[in-house]
Amino acid sequence: MLVSKNFGDIVTFMRASVGWSYSPAGVLVPSAANGPRLDYDPIAQLARGLLVEEQRTNLVSYSENFANAYWSKVSIAVAASASPGADGALSAFDITEANGASGSKELTAPSVSYTAGQTYTISAFFRTKAVGVVRRLRMAVSSGSVIAGSLAVAFDPSDGGSVAQVVNASNARLDVLPNGLLRGQWSFTAANTVSANLYLTLADSSNLTTYVGDGVSGITLFGVMIEQSGGFAGSYVKTGGAQVTRAPDAAVIADLSKIGFNATEGTIYAEVEAPNPSIATAKGIVSIDDGTENNRLTLTKEINGRLGFASVIGGAGSVILASAANMPAGPVKVAAAYKAGDFAMCMGGAAPVISAAGVLPAGLNAMRLGVRSNGGAINGWLRNVRYIPRRITNAELQALTT
């Protein structure tokens, strides 16, 4: 008999902090600690699914209040904007260049500590001001400190936005948001263990910062972040006087009897969106395990970007399957069907990857959604997860993922 149950009747969701996500109206909203984030595409205003992320810390102590003395100002005026921030409130600030100023017109954040070999991502929400000439936003870290040489990216908010200049940075991109807002982000790997400042500087259409200011033009700014990362920005982490950490998400079914778990065969299905290409460890889509990585059945996004499935016993892979193609950046349907000596995995309706060898682990007692037992979160969205307590046929598997 099929029984309909609420998410909270089956899944225990945990996150030891507030987390931010987009509402159906396309604005950022906070979810309380241990509250699942059902996220939306801010432009299409369509559901993306359950957002599951790893832990991140915003190293900028004042992410929104640019009038605060934390931010040093040179040849600019900072005032509360009449245009909303990404949270839909009047929380953004207009950054206006001083009239006649020919030097840099910038905000500077106090120095942040960087560790050699670690990757960091810097991001900001911004738009062009409603009046004046379009100015670009140039984001830079102190030259010659974190790396040998300049480190900067310039973003152009005109005509839908573009990345205008990249100097020794990686993964620079702009995301389009409602109300003319953009979120620019870029990453770098520190070569030295040092402290360095962040500079947010106005630039002209040639990326020059030493043009003569007109006293009117500038940008509207909201939500600046610096985070140690895997080469991409996470969801927004708001700060107001100190660095803030968003704890990792965890969604667990601790009682497998609630899903009719069958220890001898089964099928795991998920519709997942895991867009970030830069990952250092395999990320869990769905994992059934004993609380460790030693005994598990796991669907993963692998380091090389492909879909993987593994039956692991005592820390060793009894069966390891990998897709021929990389997982797409957008949503995709994936599934694995299994019983001893009969394993198959499928992605997007492609021909199943199969194995006629291998056995199943014993003692499995929990299912994790979007994470592994070691915390390897997908940093993306789960739209649908199903468990079927039988090994469906390969034809059914292919049809299920089409």
DSSP string of 107-141?
A: EEEEEEEE-TT-EEEEEEEEEE-SSSSB-EEEEEE
Q: Coil, strand, or helix at residue 89? A: coil
pLDDT at 294 exceeding the cut of 90: yes
Mean pLDDT of the chain: 95
pLDDT class for 2, splitting at 50, 70, 90?
A: low
pLDDT at 286 exceeding the cut of 90: yes
Domain ranges in the chain are: 7-52+248-400, 56-246
- Letter for the amino acid at 192? N
Degrees, nearest 5: CA angle 47-382-182: 50
User: Does 353 or 279 have the greater pLDDT score?
Assistant: 353
154-159's contacts with Cβ under 8 Å and 24+ in sequence apart are 154/203, 154/207, 155/126, 155/182, 155/184, 156/205, 157/126, 157/127, 157/128, 157/182, 157/219, 158/128, 158/134
pLDDT at 283 exceeding the cut of 70: yes
pLDDT of residue 4: 61
pLDDT digits (tens, 9 = 90+) for 325-338: 999 999 999 999 99
pLDDT at 69 exceeding the cut of 60: yes
**Using an 8 Å Cβ cutoff, are 209 and 102 in contact?**
no
Element (H, E) at 395: helix 394-400
Give CA separation, 195 vs 74, 168, 177, 248, 317, in Å: 21, 18, 32, 26, 43
- Letter for the amino acid at 162? S
CATH architecture of the region 7-52+248-400: Sandwich (2.60)
pLDDT of residue 128: 95
**Using an 8 Å Cβ cutoff, are 264 and 340 in contact?**
yes
Backbone angles phi, psi at 400, to 5 degrees: -65, -35
Backbone angles phi, psi at 291, to 5 degrees: 95, 0
Name which of 40, 46, 92, 44 is nearest 66 in CA terms. 92
Q: How far apart are CA 190 and CA 134, in angstroms?
A: 32
Name which of 280, 320, 330 is nearest 304 in CA terms. 280
pLDDT digits (tens, 9 = 90+) for 257-271: 999 999 999 999 999
Q: Does domain 56-246 have CATH number 2.60.120.260?
A: yes
Name which of 117, 266, 276 is nearest 193 in CA terms. 117
What is the reported pTM? Answer: 0.94
As a whole number of angstroms, the longest Cα–Cα distance in the chain is 77
Please give the share of the chain, as a percent, with pLDDT higher than 70.
99
Degrees, nearest 5: CA angle 393-397-402: 150
How much is the average pLDDT of 231-237?
96
**Using an 8 Å Cβ cutoff, are 11 and 226 in contact?**
no
pLDDT at 354 exceeding the cut of 70: yes
Common-topology check for domains 7-52+248-400 and 56-246: yes
Q: For residue 351, what are its two tokens?
A: 């021909």
pLDDT class for 1, splitting at 50, 70, 90?
A: very low
pLDDT of residue 276: 81
Q: Coil, strand, or helix at residue 400? A: helix
Q: How far apart are CA 402 and CA 340, in angstroms?
A: 25
pLDDT at 112 exceeding the cut of 60: yes
pLDDT digits (tens, 9 = 90+) for 201-212: 999 999 999 999
pLDDT digits (tens, 9 = 90+) for 175-220: 999 999 999 999 999 999 999 999 999 999 999 999 999 999 999 9
Degrees, nearest 5: CA angle 108-187-21: 85
Backbone angles phi, psi at 258, to 5 degrees: -70, -20
pLDDT of residue 278: 66
